[in-house]
Amino acid sequence: MKKLIIAAAIGLTAFIIYSEANREPRERINYAQALPEAPAFEASSNFDGQWEGKRIDISGDNICLETRILGSIEDGKVSLRLMYNNTLLKGWIADDGKLELYSDNERWGYDFKGTALNGQIDGEWKVSNAPCRGSWKVVKV
């Protein structure tokens, strides 16, 4: 009986090693969005300053946590950080308050849309490769 257990353990170990060695490498789930050289519009410095707020999830999925958002706008260049996973949203803001944002997250396909008006930015967000979605809001501090 002891020899049978040892032989089975050796066979299982050999199978696992063979399977892992011949498995195709994992691909990234999502690629970060490349920040273009320039926006599709003229960036506006009308919204320059420090901003903070939060992102709220309405999907109810437990991977979609609410998080603080901190950042700044300088010369119309937007830089906002999702604090729970350190994702950086970069882009520009137009004179009419419309945002163009790009994510640096290699795993999650973030899509943030928003508009600035009267010292706050409100918008919607979603993740292309997860059920996460909701609203977000930051205010100028």
Q: What is the pLDDT of residues 55-67, one digit of tens each?
A: 999 999 988 989 9
Spans of all domains in the chain: 49-140
pLDDT for the residue numbered 17:
76
Q: Which residue has the tokens 């170990």?
A: 13
pLDDT above 90 (res 115): yes
pLDDT for the residue numbered 34:
78
pLDDT for the residue numbered 26:
45
Under a CB-based contact definition with an 8 Å cutoff, are residues 132 and 64 in contact? yes
pLDDT digits (tens, 9 = 90+) for 69-100: 999 999 999 999 999 999 999 999 999 999 99
Question: DSSP letters of 55-82?
Answer: EEE-S--TT---EEEEEEEETTEEEEEE
Among the residue ranges 28-37, 67-76, 78-87, 108-117, the one predicted with the least confidence is: 28-37
pLDDT for the residue numbered 24:
55
- Entry pTM: 0.77
Question: DSSP letters of 84-134?
Answer: TTTEEEEEEEBTTSBEEEEE--SS--EEEEEEEETTEEEEEEEETTSS-EE
Higher pLDDT: 38 or 32? It is: 38
Long-range contacts of 18-27 (CB under 8 A, 24+ apart): none
CA proximity to 112, closest of 96, 94, 132: 132
Largest distance between two CA atoms of the chain: 80
Spell 105-122 as b/e; 16+ CB within 10 A means b: beebbbebebebeeeebb
Q: Quick one: CA dihedral 116, 76, 98, 123, positive or negative?
A: negative
What residues does 93 pair with on adjacent strands? 99
Average of per-residue pLDDT values in the chain? 89
Q: What's 49-140's CATH class?
A: mainly beta
pLDDT for the residue numbered 132:
95
